[in-house]
Structures are given as structure tokens and as C-alpha cells.
Structure 1
Amino acid sequence: MKKKLVSVLLAATMITWVLAGCGSQADSTQSSDTEATQQTQAPATTEATAEAETTEAAEATASDEPITLRMAWWGSQDRHDKTIAAIELYESLHPNVTFEYEYYSFDDYFTKLKTLVASDEVWDVFQLGGNFPMYLDKIYPLDEFIDSGVVDVSKISEANLKTTRETDGTQLGLTNGINTYGIAYDPAMFEEAGAELPTENWTWEDYQKAADTITEKLGIFGSSTFLTSDFIAGCSTYIGQQGSLGQYSFFNLDLTGMGFDDPQMLTPFIQMRADMIKKGSYPDAGASAEVTNIENDFLVTGEAAMTWVAVNQFPTIYNVCAEQGRELALAPLPKVAASGNSGALIQSSQMLCVSQDSEHKEAAAAFISWFENDVDCNNILQAERGIPANEDVRAALAASATKGQQIMYDYVDSVSKNPTPKEYNVLSPDGQDQVQDNYLNYIQQVVSGEITASEAAEKTYADAQAIFN
């Protein structure tokens, strides 16, 4: 069967939210259904029975029956090229399997996905980020394939498996990579402007001061746009950075209400963002719309000195800037207080899932297992979606890491050592997308003088609280 390649659509943002409380990281970006997919658990088996099931599953997967799998993802051109090469390797190893693949920018991907959801034609293998809860009824869990041995999780830690599990323990997919957020920046631009370089404990005040200084001295944006992740920074991360560790979160752990009581906790961030837009040190809505993916971010084009990134994106922009003769660095997220909480958590970048609509669920699951566990495959992918969850794959890639990749590995290792709340929830309730859209509009209204930052905070809180009414 002839492979069909659907042309790339690069009209919108790439960044995804996959991190706690978001958004993703998000797109990015997340919302959730209140109805979780129910998984029928396989009965306990004897060791001999389990071995027989594993053999039977392997034989079924290795069948000569022609299979066509439909797959789709979003991302940068770098991701597209790497993923296609990995698919071609899999097809060479499994001649009976042919892929029909599609790839998009972030917004276009979810526009297409929603259309397929409505017609019950979701791709056999599809990529989801932190917004996976709204697609729970289209995800076919992997539990039965893990039990049968089709999906191998022997080299993936329990902690990494939990990043793509439902709260009831159902394994929804396998993470494409563990990830977190950071600030990518150009040290030479900071030094040219006389701005203080980011430190391990810099604050949002330090961030704003540096951005304003860069704009005054160099005539460029001090900071590029956070795109849809502005909600993550302003709501999820900013709220989580306040109080004692784990005291506050934007939504509560049970997703039954808010995780904080005072809307005015949001005011300083909204005011900072509006002030920066008015000063020209941060892009307004019109300029932000020009950034359609991380590869044309203002930091990459030389029109900004720093930008917020999901760190799996860092090696890509590091390489692009290196070709320009520029060397980027990666700093931790600014904090509310220098001695306070970082607000950064290690979680899943995205995951690959099997579709409930698929006619070849086992073959789709087998591919996902290979995609996450095979060293040759991951030598092609080069951790572009995040640091691999499989320990053998991580070791193989680290041994031949590029400069940008090594910075990413070191950064994630550093963040993983930060104190983290005993309990936290990576999910968000259905309806958050609209809350996020409204929040970004409120910031623009503060800029134009229609409302105050305090009023924007009250409105954002009320919108979010209304989800539960």
C-alpha cells in the first residue's frame, strides 16, 4: 500500500503544556473530561500462562498480515524530519506495516483532531500533551498490552510511568520524554545591554528589570512571548511559587475547585506583564501572533534576548543560533522570592497513545513500545521530544550528546533535585482552554487601560471557579 504524506501546516504555535497545573507545558493548553475511560483489568495469571500470552502476543505482532497505521503529531520541522526517519526505520524492520502520517503545527493539529474525534476516525497512533484529559474517551489504555508483553516497560521507572497514568492507575500512553520549563537566553545580548545575567535564584522582578534594560539599550524585546504558556507562568507556576511548598496550586488536587482563595495573588504577574508590553520589552498580542513555532521565536531571529521554553526544544534553537554564531544558555524559571519555591516540576513532555477508533490496536501499541524503547530509533529522535524515560536509551544518548543536548540533560538533572510537593496533579479541568483565552485577553485590556490588573485577576479567578459550578 502506498504511503500517503500529508503536507505540513505551519500556521500556529508549537509549544505544549505538559507540566503541572497547566497548561504545557501546553501546547499549550490543557483541559480535561470529567469522565475517565474505564479499563477492564486482565485477571491474574500464572507464570506459565503469562509466558504463553507473551509468546502469543509477540507472534501476533510479528504476523505477515498487511497493516496500515495512521499516525499524527505536531511540532517543529526538526521533529517532523526525525519522526519520519524513525517511521521509515520501523517499516524496514516490519515490512507488513505501512504508515500514513500527518504532521502539523500545534493549533492545526488539535483543530484536525477535534474533527476526527467528532467522526470517530482518530489516527491509530496519536500524540497528546497536557491537554490529554479532554480526549480520554478516545484513548485506548495500554494496560492489557503491558500485561501481555507487547508493550515493554521494564526499563521505564515507576515515576516516569506515572506521568502518563490516569488517577485511577490506568496507563494511558508512554511518555515521549520527561521535561520541564526554563528560560533560554543569549548571554552576549545581556552583556551588551549591561543587564544582569540570570542566576539560580533570580526573581520575576529580576526578569522584568533585565528585559526592560535590554529593550532600552538594544531596541529589541527583552523577552520573547510565552505564547499560550503565559497562562502557565502567570497562573500555574506563579501561584505554586507562593506560600510554603505545595501550599497553593491553581486548581486543587481533586480538580473540584480552586487551589487558592485570594484572586489578588495573580495581580503582580498580570501587572508585570502589562507593564512590559507597554514598555515594549514584551510582545503585544499582534507581535506574539508572528511566532508560529519555536524555530521562528524572537530569540532565534535575534529580536529578543530570552524566551520561555519547554527544555526539549532547547537543543533545536541552540543549534539554529549556533549557526548564526550565537551561543544560548538555559536558566531556571524566575521565582516570586529568591529563597522561595521554584514552581518547576519534572513531568511528561508528550505521550503517544493508541486510539479507541483503531482497527489495529495491538500493532499501534507495539509501535509505541518500540518508539520509546529502541536505542536505534532514539538515536534518530535525539531526545527532541524530551529526555527519554527508558534508562538504557538515556545512557546511549548521553554518551554522544551535542552541546545543546548536554545543557538540556544537565538542566533537567538540576531541576529534578529541587524540592517538590508531596502531592501534585498534572491534570486540569474541562474548560481551562476558555479560562486561558480570557486571561490573555484580560492582560491586553489592562494594557489598553480598560481594566486594572486587580480586576483582571478577579475576572480570571471567577472564570476558573465557574468551571466547577
Structure 2
Amino acid sequence: MKKKIVSCLLAVAMVAGSIVGCGSQPEQAPSDSQAPAAESKEEAPAAEAKEEASAETPSSDEPITLRMAWWGSQDRHDKTIAAIELYESLNPNVKIEYEYYSFDDYFTKLKTLVASDEVWDVFQLGGNFPMYLDKIYPLDEFISSGVVDVSKISEANLKTTRQTDGTQLGLTNGINTYGIAYDPAMFEEAGAALPTDDWTWEDYQKAADLITEKLGIFGSSTFLTSDFIAGCSTYIAQQGDLGQNSFFNLDLTGMGFDDPQMLAPFIQMRADMIKKGSYPDAGASAEVTNIENDFLVTGEAAMTWVAVNQFPTIYNVCAEQGRELALAHLPKVTASGNSGTLIQSSQMLCVSQDSEHKEAAAAFISWFENDIDCNNILQAERGIPANEDVRAALAASATPAQQIMYDYVDAVSKMPTPKEYNVLSPDGQDQVQDNYLNYIQQVVNGEITASEAAEKTYADAEAIFK
């Protein structure tokens, strides 16, 4: 398999703590065991033939045993086991031996299996999938043959688990993206124009400044570390033709744009807002420790940046206060320009190179992602479903906040996306991000100009590759 890896800053921020079910923080293993809780089903008959990757589709009565593993919470374990039991009832010849772990224990076990060439037939991977490319058997041949159905999964959603050379590594278990959560009543009270699908950063700044002037609160809450995503990866991607620019290049060997001054307008906007009081300075930003005490939630700001899977949480908190939030697209550089908004994957299910039943494993993954009855059991616990019919079915019983989230993801999924884009970031990006935020504060203090801050940010990022 080719090892050409795609990369992006955007996903790393999500993987770090926003995406549903990503598991970047260790979760508790089942309480009855410190070792992985495993359920071994009845062994397949000894005479079971080993399949080659290109084998014919097994007959409906051929006994098959698949091994599957995942990490997650007890809720995830319970739901996944129930889904497996449904699949076995529908496919009596298939038995699935499953194991579930805490996050850390999962990857400890996976590394052991990698070394012995015994990786589970179906296994779960997140943003660290490049470490295991040699153990992923691509789904392309099964998509071509119809074993894996992608007819209701948009191109944008498929790209979240696809390499830049077009290889489909797996199917995403859950998708996510970014938006702007806002309080329409606050906008209206201040006389500020409500966000539209094609609003710009200039519109965003004008609304925030006016809200601060009229209401005496922050027009916009802090984006926290996501200000780097907004001002660097997103802002750069919004300039030029679709896919022309990215902060880092696709191969993580250098920068994805040539002119550092492309960063300067956003830096200047942010510094101006901080000086006017329409955006929190570093001290105020430090008061926000999680989405539930964001200034939008506490009523001290009119809007905030949000990973959309978090939107129902803040919507419900604000609803208890008698407030109703809405969700807007990210502002753009120009109204007719690129959105810079991408769908990202929380995690995916993959077929193992070590599997003796690759086609049967692929068929299970297809069912797991596409079957409505299965997903009525799973209830989007791993993230927003990629299949549009599944989303529609779950939306039928969705809360108002969940419906807004589903509608938003549907809209973003249908936006034009670059042919190639990134899903990881390079080592050293965290320091670049920290420096970038410090440079903005230096612009606020008059120590450097926005132009100089842009040059410094570019130089810091470029230095990663030297």
C-alpha cells in the first residue's frame, strides 16, 4: 500500500478534545476487569477455509468467525455489542468475537497484535491511523464490487478517511466540523445583522463591535486555541481558488502557501477587536476552561466558535436560561469565496491486512455504517453518522439542538471541497500555535505590527521542516 499521508491542522484540534467518540482522553475500562473485557463467541469449525483477499463472496451458509475490537466508554460497549448481536441474528453463519478496551489499553494491545500479524479482522482507528497503514486493507475493491455501499455517503464524508492518492482506508464512524454558535436575540437587541451563509470576517467584526458598543458584552467569545485554526488553516484555505492554499502542504514537508502577508488581515482584525473589547484578551480567555462556561453560555458574549457536536450541549444549557441559540457557517474572506470548512472524521472502522475474511469484514463495516436499525441502537455515540439516510432517521426523533446540528452537517457535507486536503498536522505545530497567539497580543500591545506577526508566524511554521 502506498504511504502517502494526508494532513491537517483542523482535525488535530478536533482530535485533541472536540470530536465525539474520538477517545483522545483515556476512558475507563469495564469495572469488572483491569484487562480488556472480551467476549469470545463459539469458535468457527476447524475445517473453515482461509480466504484470500480476492476470494469469492462466501456462500450464505459458510461459517465465518470475525474478530472485532474498539475502545470507548461503557455506553459505547453496550451499544456496539447490541449491534453485533443484531448482525449475527441477520447473518446466522457469522459469529463475531469482540473485545473492548479503554483508549490506552486498546493501543497497547493493538501494537502487540501488529507485531505478531494478528490484528483483529475489524478494528477501530482515530487520528493516529498513519501509524497503522501497513495493517489497513483498503475498501476500494469492495466498494467497486458493491460489498461496501457508499451511495448515501457524500464525497466530502468519504474523503475524511481517504488518502490523497484516492485509497479508501475505511468508513468514518462519525463526522464533525466547525461553526459559529450565536444568540439571535442579542444580535437583534444590538441592531447587528444576523449571520448569513455567505457572511464575511468583516461582517463578523462589525457585528461583534456593535454588540459590544450597544450591550456592553463581548461581541464574540474567545476561540481559544481554535483561533489558530480560524486565522491560519481556515483563513488561508479561504483565499485563492478552491484547494489552492493550505497552511501546511499535503505531504507535511513545508508550507502550503507562499505569502506570509495572507495572514496579516486576520491578525489585525483580532488585535483590533481585543483593543475595542469585542473579543476577550488573553486574561479573559483563560477564564474559559470548557464549552459549558464559554462566555456565550454565561451570557457575556453573543457568539462563539464551536465544534458542532458540542452545539447541543450549549444549546440545552442556554435553553434552561430561556435563551435560544442558532448555528451559523464560518465567516469567509469574501462572500463568494471558499468556505474553508471541512468535514472531519472522529474515527473509522477498518479491515485488517491480517484478516482471513476481508470481504466478510468489509460487509460488516458497510452494514454498521449504513443500516438504520443498527444505528438506531448506536444512536450516533461515535459521532454524527456519515450516511444521509441514517442521519435523517435519527433526526426524526432528534431534539431541536440535534436537528440544528444534523442540518448544519448536511449543508457542510454538500459544499465543494478540494480534491485533496489535510487531516493531520506536523510535529511542532503546538509551539507555532502558542507563538501565534502571543504575537496577536504583542500587536495589541503595540510591540509589533500585524505584518510582522504574520512574518513571524510563517517563519515559526516553516522552521518545523528545517
Same-fold call, TM cutoff 0.5? yes
Select 1:143's aligned residue among 138, 147, 151: 138
SS of residue matched to 1:437: helix
**TM superposition shift of 1:176:** 2.5
| TM-score using structure 2 length | 0.72
Superposed CA deviations along residues 100-147 of structure 1, whole A, max 9, x for unmatched, are 5547xxxxxxxx699959986999865624xx46x5347842437985
After superposition, residues 97-176 of structure 1 pair within 5 angstroms as 100-102=100-102, 128-129=126-127, 132=128, 135-137=130-132, 140-143=135-138, 152-153=148-149, 157=153, 159=155, 160-176=157-173
Residues 44 and 68 of structure 1: CA distance in aligned 2, closer, same or farther (over 3 Å): closer
TM-score w.r.t. the length of structure 1 is 0.71
Instruction: In structure 1, give the amino acid aligned to 2:422.
Output: V
2:186 corresponds to which of 174, 185, 189: 189
Query: Is 1:258 the equivalent of 2:263?
Result: no
Determine which of 67, 76, 82 is the counterpart of 1:83: 76
What displacement does 1:416 show?
4.3
Please report how far the alpha carbon of residue 210 of structure 1 lies from its aligned counterpart in structure 2 after TM superposition: 1.6
Partner of 1:349: helix, strand, or coil?
strand
Q: CA deviation at 1:449?
A: 3.8
Q: 2:339 aligns with which of 328, 338, 342?
A: 342
Instruction: Kindly provide the amino acid, as one letter, of the partner of residue 464 in structure 1.
Output: A
Q: Provide closer, same or farther for how the CA distance between residues 294 and 126 of structure 1 changes in structure 2, counting only shifts above 3 A.
A: farther
Superposed, 1:61-80 pairs within 5 Å as: 61=66, 69=69, 71-72=71-72
Identical-residue share of aligned pairs (%):
67
TM-superposed deviation, 1:374: 4.2
Query: Once the two structures are superposed, what CA deviation does each residue of 1:365-422 show, in whole Å capped at 9, x if it has no partner?
Result: 898666534434533554466542234423422333332233233333433454444x
Structure 2 counterpart of 1:59, one-letter code: I
| 1:180 matched to 2:208 | no
Match of 2:65 among 54, 60, 64: 60
Superposed displacement of residue 306, structure 1: 0.8
Q: Please state whether the residue corresponding to 1:216 is helix, strand or coil.
A: helix
Q: Which amino acid aligns with 1:462?
A: A
Q: Deviations over 1:426-454 (max 9, x none)?
A: 23452233322332232233334443322
Residue number among 314, 319, 344 corresponding to 2:316 in the alignment = 319
Q: Distance in 2 between matches of 1:284 and 1:118?
A: 43
User: Aligned-pair distance for 1:158?
Assistant: 7.2
Q: Find the residue that maps to 1:50 and give its secondary structure.
A: coil
Q: Distance in 2 between matches of 1:185 and 1:419?
A: 25
Distance in 2 (CA, whole Å) between partners of 1:463 and 1:118 is: 35
Please list, as runs of the form range in 1=range in 2, the aligned pairs for 1:197-236 lying within 5 A after superposition: 197-236=194-233
* SS of match in other structure, 1:388: coil
| CA–CA separation in structure 2 for the residues paired with 1:121 and 1:287 | 47
Residues 261/296 of structure 1: CA separation in 2 closer, same or farther (3 Å cut): same
Q: Is the 8 A contact 1:312 1:384 kept in 2?
A: no
C-alpha displacement of 1:224: 1.9
Counterpart of 2:9 in 1: which secondary structure?
coil
CA–CA separation in structure 1 for the residues paired with 2:315 and 2:74: 17
- Name the aligned partner's letter for residue 344 of structure 1: T
Matches within 5 A, 1:234-273: 234-273=231-270
In structure 1, stretches of 5+ residues that fail to align are 1-18, 31-41, 62-66, 73-79, 104-111
Q: Do the aligned partners of 2:182 and 2:327 also contact (CA within 8 Å) in 1?
A: yes
Is residue 139–residue 354 contact of structure 1 (8 Å, CA) maintained in 2? no
Q: In 1, are the aligned partners of 2:7 and 2:250 still within 8 Å (CA)?
A: no
The one of 44, 47, 56 aligned to 1:50: 56
Q: Which residue of 2 aligns with 1:27?
A: 14
Q: Is the 8 A contact 1:20 1:425 kept in 2?
A: yes
Cα pair distance change 1:119/1:193, threshold 3 Å: same
Classify the secondary structure of the residue corresponding to 2:65. helix
Q: Which runs of 5+ in 2 are unaligned?
A: 1-5, 18-50, 89-94
**Does 2:436 align with 1:427?**
no
> Number of residues paired by the alignment?
411
Q: Which residue of 1 aligns with 2:42?
A: none
Distance (Å, rounded) in 2 between the aligned partners of 1:22 and 1:317:
25
Deviation at 1:187, TM superposition (A): 0.4
Instruction: State yes or no: 1:465 paired with 2:444.
Output: no
Alpha-carbon distance in structure 2 between the residues aligned to 1:224 and 1:139: 43
Deviates more, 1:296-305 or 1:153-162: 153-162
Between the aligned partners of 1:296 and 1:371, the Cα distance in structure 2 is: 36
Distance 1:120 1:303 in 2: 50
